[in-house]
């Protein structure tokens, strides 16, 4: 099964980026050997923060937020376009998970909203989006949302398994359909889930909704879910890749942390 050993957090030093850092610190826990990598990506032509200033701010975050918890950490200041740079650093630094903060769709910082949603679609690694409204850390219930398609990459479930075991969290599997009939794909997915999640506590639900996003949102609210996990299909290999519409909508509108496993 997969294991998280290094988490990357991009920061522009905003309040929301700092919230993602704090979430990561709480996520890692004091007794863990998970490493935290802070990254500031800047455009040399338009940046209002110099490299020296960025390094000072990153060191301050290390000293004030990360080191007191005994968490190993490092930082990088990188020049270039944000999404391309993060994808390169993820591979070069052997990052297992990227965490990034975002704001509400109606926020004045429209660029930050769009950037997070676009990156979730483009990235080829697990991404955890921390929405603006998250006030404290809690991770006891995780909802894994599935659609009508067969699970494309069953090995991706390893990250979900690791997180659920790490926090002793219960996984609520949601197969959202437009009717209450079962299918061959659902039976295949059930067998896959039984194999990859057999050592964790989980239950399978089949809510009926014509609108998948609405179904996920209502289930999360009604059951006090702490995190939603999805398996984006924009890099699917077994079937035709999707355009990532649901992934983008959830990244834009989620009220709880969203884990996109790719």
Residues 92 and 123 in one domain: yes
Domain end call among 130, 164, 191: 130
Average pLDDT over the chain, rounded to whole? Answer: 85
Please determine, for residue 234, whether its predicted confidence score (pLDDT) is greater than 50: no
CATH of the domain at 108: 3.40.50.620
Q: Domain limits at 20? A: 6-130
Residues 113 and 206 in one domain: no
Q: Within a domain: residue 61?
A: yes
Residues 169 and 232 in one domain: yes
Please determine, for residue 128, whether its predicted confidence score (pLDDT) is greater than 70: yes
Q: Within a domain: residue 1?
A: no
Model pTM above 0.85: yes
Q: What is the DSSP string of the chain?
A: -----EEEEE--S-HHHHHHHHHHHHHH-TT---EEEEEEEE-TTT-SS-HHHHHHHHHHHIIIIIGGGT--EEEEEEES-HHHHHHHHHHHTT-SEEEEE---TTSS-HHHHHHHHHHHHH-SS-EEEE-TT--S---SEEEEEE-SSPPS-GGGHHHHHHHHHHHTPEEEEEE-BSSS---HHHHHHHHHHHHHTTTS-EEEE--B-SSHHHHHHHHHHHTT-SEEEE---TT-SSSPPP--HHHHHHHHH-SS-EEE--
pLDDT in tens, 134-164: 888 999 999 999 877 778 677 788 999 999 9
Please determine, for residue 122, whether its predicted confidence score (pLDDT) is greater than 60: yes
Residues 84 and 191 in one domain: no
What pLDDT, on the 0 to 100 scale, is given for residue 111? 54
What pLDDT, on the 0 to 100 scale, is given for residue 110? 47
Please determine, for residue 18, whether its predicted confidence score (pLDDT) is greater than 90: yes
Residues 116 and 41 in one domain: yes
For the chain, the domain total comes to: 2
pLDDT-derived band of residue 189, with 50, 70 and 90 as boundaries? confident
pLDDT-derived band of residue 235, with 50, 70 and 90 as boundaries? very low
- Which carries the bigger pLDDT value, residue 240 or residue 199? 199
What pLDDT, on the 0 to 100 scale, is given for residue 67? 94
pLDDT-derived band of residue 250, with 50, 70 and 90 as boundaries? confident
Please determine, for residue 112, whether its predicted confidence score (pLDDT) is greater than 60: no
Residues 169 and 90 in one domain: no
pLDDT in tens, 61-79: 999 999 999 999 999 999 9
What pLDDT, on the 0 to 100 scale, is given for residue 208? 86
Domain end call among 130, 158, 175: 130
Q: Within a domain: residue 49?
A: yes
Domain end call among 76, 96, 130: 130
């Amino acid at each position: 099964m997969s294991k998280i050993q290094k988490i990357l957090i991009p920061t522009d030093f905003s309040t929301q980026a700092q919230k993602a850092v704090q979430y990561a610190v709480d996520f890692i826990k004091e007794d863990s050997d998970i490493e935290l990598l802070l990254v500031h990506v800047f455009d040399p032509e338009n940046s209002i923060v110099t490299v020296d200033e960025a390094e000072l701010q990153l060191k301050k975050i290390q000293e004030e937020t990360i080191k007191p918890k005994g968490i190993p950490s490092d930082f990088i200041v990188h020049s270039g376009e944000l999404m391309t740079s993060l994808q390169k650093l993820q591979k070069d630094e052997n990052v297992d998970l990227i965490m990034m903060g975002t704001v509400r769709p109606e926020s004045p910082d429209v660029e930050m909203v769009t950037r997070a949603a676009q990156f979730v679609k483009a990235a080829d690694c697990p991404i955890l989006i921390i929405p603006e409204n998250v006030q404290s850390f809690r991770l006891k219930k995780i909802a894994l949302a599935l659609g009508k398609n067969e699970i494309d990459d069953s090995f991706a479930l390893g990250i979900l398994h690791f997180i659920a075991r790490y926090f002793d969290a219960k996984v609520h599997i949601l197969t959202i359909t437009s009717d209450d009939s079962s299918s061959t794909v659902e039976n295949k997915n059930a067998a896959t889930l039984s194999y990859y999640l057999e050592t964790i506590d989980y239950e399978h639900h089949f809510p009926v909704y014509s609108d998948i996003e609405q179904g996920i949102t209502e289930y999360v609210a009604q059951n006090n879910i702490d995190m939603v996990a999805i398996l984006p299909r924009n890099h699917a290999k077994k079937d035709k890749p999707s355009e990532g519409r649901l992934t983008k909508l959830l990244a834009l509108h989620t009220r709880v942390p969203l884990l996109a496993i790719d």
